[in-house]
Amino acid sequence: MKTTPERAAFDALPHPTVVVVGGGFAGLELIKRLSGKPFKVILLDKNNYHCFQPLLYQVATGSLGADNIAHPFRRTVGPMPNVIYRMGEVLRVLPEENCLETDHGRIAYDHLVLATGTVTNFFGNQRIAHEAMQLKSISQALDIRSDFLQEFEAAVYLEDEHRQRQRLNFVIVGGGPSGVELAGALAEIRKTILKHEYREVENERMQIHLVDTNAAVLSNFSPKAQGLAKRFLEDLGVRVMLNTLVTGYDGETVSFKDGSTMPSTTVIWTAGVKGAPVQGLETALEERPARYRVDRFNRVEGTGNIYAIGDIALDTGDPRYPKGHPQVAPVAIQQAGHLARNLLRKNGSAPQPFLYRGKGSMATIGRYKAVVDLGKLKFGGPIAWFMWLFVHLMSIVGFRSRVMVLTHWAWKYLSWKNTIRLIIRPYVRKEYKVEQPAGKVEVVG
């Protein structure tokens, strides 16, 4: 293969190579901090774009398009002379050889940074994992958008009330920010889209259930924010089911620990996450959360030049967070900035330990309804809602994306309608297969 002048110039740089695996909040912040610095930086990700995950629920509910919250990596690294991007998936880390095995061959490194983020945690329930929908990626958000629109269209044809209610029963498992925001958005769709555009269907037959095992929604927020969020949800008509454990789901019926059941063809699981580790560093992996144990400098346990930042990192050395830092964007961004500073001082002064500075928490439940925890300030309502809009708008990568998001939000605000209601890629449910002895396969449901 012929080498371009640009690649030749990159290879000729007399600097150590930093390979960053994962272009989420942590990985993207790190390459920005190392841009123009004395390192050769390679960003490796299986997708060719950065996804702004806090707004995935708006893609799922038709308020935003996928391209509004995604930004191409190559547009980001294009102006960075010492940074290149490679689309690929890591198969294994070979720490003794200082290289990665990928689906496109080997990549050598002087410093390796793992910022692989998380995946949905179904806590070992394989049937639920197969049947329930997730909200961790753009493709999953688009599946949810197609699914609820398909359910609306199917409900129009159904004359049997039980079957129609089953189609319009939406169960969201997990009362964290993602679950709360998704429930509020679906409740507003019931008040606007279903009521005015699906007049053949009785509006009250669509029900949204938010299920959580905790005694309150938004368990990491203040009691005041928790109470406000629950009230806002109930005002929108969401049924909040607390202290409730989902034990099973077969695609048609949800089962709970107390023995009760609920008919539903749509269950969306936002109840937990676990790390997305790569093979080769199992001795440093904390099995239950699937996160790498790191020291106060974000160095992976037992290694000298491998680091983990963001949701995949487990630092239990901070007495304020004995179970590790919360898996949120501000932690990831701060860890990336801190690691960049330590890498730059590696040949000089001693590295400094990471100290997380909490920026507060916020969640939106619907129009004019949001909650904010900022130190001693804990409040909700319109001011919190406008603050949530501003913070998220300014956090989106790329000027074009900010303009597009602002335009969509303005139209939704003025028209009371979700912008995108197109079933471009219909969601098709897959059959659940159970492996039997002697290689036999049983198809269920």
SS (H, E, C) the chain: CCCCHHHHHHHCCCCCEEEEECCCHHHHHHHHHHCCCCCEEEEEECCCEEECHHHHHHHHCCCCCHHHCEEEHHHHHCCCCCEEEEECCEEEEECCCCEEEEECEEEECCEEEECCCEEECCCCCHHHHHHCECCCCHHHHHHHHHHHHHHHHHHHHCCCHHHHHHHCEEEEECCCHHHHHHHHHHHHHHHHHHHHHCCCCCHHHCEEEEECCCCCCCCCCCHHHHHHHHHHHHHCCCEEECCCCEEEECCCEEEECCCCEEECCEEEECCCEEECCCECCHHHEECCCCEEEECCCCEECCCCCEEECHHHEECCCCCCCCCCCCCCHHHHHHHHHHHHHHHHCCCCCCCCCCCCCCCCEEEEEECCEEEEEECCEEEECHHHHHHHHHHHHHHCCCHHHHHHHHHHHHHHHHHCCCCCCCCCCCCCCCCEEEECHHHCEEEEC
Catalytic residues: 181
* Residue 365 to residue 368: CA distance in whole angstroms: 8
Question: Counting beta carbons within 10 angstroms of the beta carbon of residue 85, is it exposed (0 to 12), middle (13 to 18) or buried (19 or more)?
Answer: buried
Which amino acid is it at 372?
V
